[in-house]
Amino acid sequence: MKRVALLSLLFPFLLILFCVRLAFTGFFVELNYRFGDLPPDRWGMDQAQRLDIAKLGLRSVLSEEGMKEFVNSGLFRDKEIRHMQDVKNLLSLLFGFLYLFLPFWLLLFFSLRDKKKMGLTLFLGATFGEVLAVFVVVFSVINYELLFEAFHDLVFEPGSWRFLEEDMLLRVYPMEFWYNATVWVSLLVFALNSLLQGVGFILWRKTF
């Protein structure tokens, strides 16, 4: 049962990281720009140009080549560049954890062999993940700015992520962009958890 407990605890974090990784794709950025009802740029930049720059920012936090392109674009102040480097370092750590421990989790999960234990693992892990997803969605609806600020002050140096309204990062990634991303990722986590929770319950309770 110790293995079941360990796998159940790891499950929601790995699933959340998996969904977050899906969000850091060009497709997701395009989806946000197309259906996210983002406010227009105050200085008249059109949506197509904003989308191109938003994708540039995405590339900067995923690779060294993207970061060089970001820096050399001349569109961002030094403070913006430093923050994106901080984001890149954080994502390297989080996604590295995902790439390392997801195969490890799958190996341990299938090594259980007992379908009831496998089902219990999925059920407990998914239930925990659902609670986290619901908490984030509810908190986002109530006061997203507080959640956003608390998260950024926790993982980044306080103040290092605050910018001027005319800074390019705020122009291509307005608060609505991050609100949409947070809610959509949380709903995806909730949907996958619900599916796997059902599968887990069936495996756990069914007699083979």
Q: Residue 73 is encoded by which pair of tokens?
A: 């674009």
38-96 pLDDT, tens digit per residue, is 999 999 999 999 999 999 999 999 999 999 999 999 999 999 999 999 999 999 999 99
Domain ranges, residue 80: 2-205
pLDDT band at 1 (very low <50, low <70, confident <90, very high): confident
Length of the chain: 208
148-184 pLDDT, tens digit per residue, is 999 999 999 989 999 999 999 999 999 999 999 999 9
28 CB-contact burial (10 Å; exposed 0-12 / middle 13-18 / buried 19+)? middle
pLDDT band at 3 (very low <50, low <70, confident <90, very high): confident
Task: Check whether 207 has a pLDDT greater than 80.
Answer: no
Name the one residue in this structure whose structure tokens are 């307005």: 174
Provide the pLDDT for residue 204: 85
Provide the pLDDT for residue 119: 93
Distance CA 91, CA 182 (A): 16
- Predicted model pTM: 0.91
Q: What is the number of structural domains in the chain?
A: 1
Identify which of 164, 185, 205, 180 has the alpha carbon closest to the alpha carbon of residue 42.
164
